[in-house]
Homo-oligomer: A and B are copies of this chain.
Amino acid sequence: MHRFPAFLLNGYSNFMSGRYAREEERYRDLAKEGQSPTAMIIACCDSRAAPETIFDSGPGELFVLRNIANLVPTYQPDANLHGTSAAIEFAVKQLEIKDLIVMGHGRCGGIHAALNLDSAAIKQFDFVGNWVSLLNPVADQVNKNSWMTEGERRTALERISIRHSIGNLRTFPFIKALEDEGRLALHGAWFDISTGELWLMDPDTGDFDRPEI
């Protein structure tokens, strides 16, 4: 019989003797009263960019969706499975979060895939290429910049895709309505794994810049 990974059990043991021991009451309260986070983050699955780590978040603070390349489709209320849309809907309608953040990051494998849909490597996948094709028109546009380096094209698409996802969020009627009423704010963020820098999207211009902290 295979065993649960030992490094995870060790980590869990640290959690119990550390954070849980210190915050037991908070966990018990959160269990009893339910969660009421004020923010949702849509982030990438990447092992180097966990929102709770980057924002030093405690239990109950962040409702977190993670998928490949932190993508959001447009509003399509059909019979198909829409895991991402379901999570967003739950956060907005049920939890009534006030801030919805799309956070990308540097050296993203999903963005790399989106820029190389025709490669043999991507074509052998059943799902990855299809998923990141959500970025199709914009990825094509970026790819045409032959004067940009591969790295520059990737960083460009990482940021463009955040604006693209925020645009798609606005196709959801209930998001658009709440944003118009000033009851929900959409934010973009980009995390540089190497330097640890967090870049925030200017909601007016779409530019990314580092906040003063």
Interface residues of A (CB under 8 A from B): 1-2, 4-5, 7-9, 11-16, 18-20, 24, 27-28, 30-32, 34-35, 37-40, 45-68, 71, 73, 75, 77, 79-91, 93-94, 98-99, 101, 106-107, 109-110, 113, 124-128, 130-132, 134, 138, 141-142, 144-152, 156, 159-160, 163-164, 185, 187, 189, 192-196, 198, 200, 202-207, 210-211, 213
Contacts and interface: CB of A to CB of B under 8 A. Distances in A.
Closest 5 CB pairs of A and B: A31-B194, A86-B131, A11-B55, A11-B56, A37-B47
Contact of A93 (B83, B124, B149, B150): B124
A71 B83 contact: yes
Contacts of A160: 147-148
A12 B62 CA distance: 13
Contacts of A90: 45, 68, 109-110, 113, 125, 128
A4 B189 contact: yes
Contact of A66 (B7, B12, B66, B86): B66
Given A147-B141, A156-B148, A211-B9, A68 B87 contact: yes
A105 to B, nearest CB: 10
Contacts of A200: 4
Contact of A144 (B16, B128, B141): B141
B35 A47 contact: yes
Contact of A45 (B91, B107, B151): B91
Contact of A46 (B35, B84, B141): B35
Contact of A56 (B18, B110, B189): B18
Contacts of A211: 4, 9
Given A35-B48, A67-B87, A90-B125, 17 more contacts: A5-B101, A11-B56, A15-B196, A35-B46, A40-B45, A45-B64, A45-B91, A47-B61, A48-B60, A67-B67, A81-B134, A83-B131, A85-B126, A90-B128, A141-B147, A142-B145, A145-B145
Contact of A47 (B64, B144, B145, B146): B64
